[in-house]
Amino acid sequence: MHEDNRLLEEALEYATMSDRERSESGQFVETVSLEDVLAVFRRFEEPCITSADVADELSCTTEAARQKLARLREEGRVKSRKSGRITLWWLTEDSTEATGTPEGPLFSEGAVFKSDDTVDETAIDDTLYGEADG
């Protein structure tokens, strides 16, 4: 019964797609980014999620979730495996290492330029690139 309800919700969503925002070229504006999908993995405690999990969390169709997950798989950021009729998705090591979160390598060095440092705007190039010879 839950599956029937989900299919009905998706059918209703498709029926109201004309309400979605379009770009100047007439194409639908993307409302769910790949980063949004990756964030869903981090909200779940389980090691694997489904496209329905992504769809529920991001209020999109399961088809939209599947398309985003497939793109992440092509980029090598997630992997998948069929288990019966369900596809399970999980983050690759590359995705978990370069997440942009404080646990990722981007933040491991700490701040290099602190917000309380002041820079004379007229000397910004010298500050950023060193004093020019000449």
pLDDT over threshold 60, residue 26: yes
In this predicted structure, the answer to whether residue 32 has a pLDDT above a threshold of 70 is yes
Between 124 and 61, the higher pLDDT residue: 61
pLDDT at 17 over 90: no
* Number of residues assigned to the chain: 134
Q: Which domains does the chain have, with CATH numbers?
A: 2-100 (1.10.10.10)
Q: What is the pTM of this model?
A: 0.54
- Please determine, for residue 112, whether its predicted confidence score (pLDDT) is greater than 70: no
Q: Could you give the C-alpha distances from 51 to 45, 88, 127, in angstroms and in order?
A: 16, 8, 48
Is residue 65 within 8 A of residue 58, CB to CB? The reply is yes
